[in-house]
Amino acid sequence: MTKTSYIDFEKVDDYGPQSAAATFAVEPADLERDEIVAGGEVTIDLVASEGHLEREYLVEGTVRYTADLTCSRCLDPVPFANTSDFTVRFRPRPNETANLAEEMEISAEELDVEFYTDMRVDLRTLAIEQIQLSVPMKPLCDAACMGLCSNCGANLNAAGCKCSETVMDDRWGGLRDIREQLLKKKDS
Under rule CB under 5 A, residue 149 binds Zn ion: yes
Q: Which among 7-15, 20-28, 150-158, 177-185 is the span making contact with Zn ion, rule CB under 5 A?
A: 150-158
Under rule CB under 5 A, residue 119 binds Zn ion: no
Under rule CB under 5 A, residue 156 binds Zn ion: no
Contact of 157 with 74, CB cutoff 8 Å: yes
Integer Cα distance of 81 and 4 in angstroms: 25
Q: End-to-end distance of the chain based on CA atoms, in angstroms?
A: 95
Integer Cα distance of 128 and 134 in angstroms: 10
Under rule CB under 5 A, residue 37 binds Zn ion: no
Sign of the Cα pseudo-torsion (138, 82, 44, 1, in order): negative
Largest CA distance in the chain: 100
Under rule CB under 5 A, residue 148 binds Zn ion: no
By CB under 5 A, name the one of 48, 67, 73, 127 that touches Zn ion: 73
| Nearest to Zn ion of 26, 71 (CB atom) | 71
Under rule CB under 5 A, residue 182 binds Zn ion: no
Contact of 115 with 90, CB cutoff 8 Å: yes
Under rule CB under 5 A, residue 125 binds Zn ion: no
CA 82 to chain centroid: 10
By CB under 5 A, name the one of 69, 74, 126, 148 that touches Zn ion: 74
Please name the residue ranges forming H helices in the chain. 9-15, 28-31, 100-109, 123-134, 162-187
By CB under 5 A, name the one of 42, 126, 128, 145 that touches Zn ion: 145
Under rule CB under 5 A, residue 166 binds Zn ion: no
By CB under 5 A, name the one of 23, 49, 87, 151 that touches Zn ion: 151
Under rule CB under 5 A, residue 135 binds Zn ion: no
Q: Which residues bind Zn ion (CB under 5 A)?
A: 71, 73-74, 141, 145, 149, 151-152, 154, 161, 163
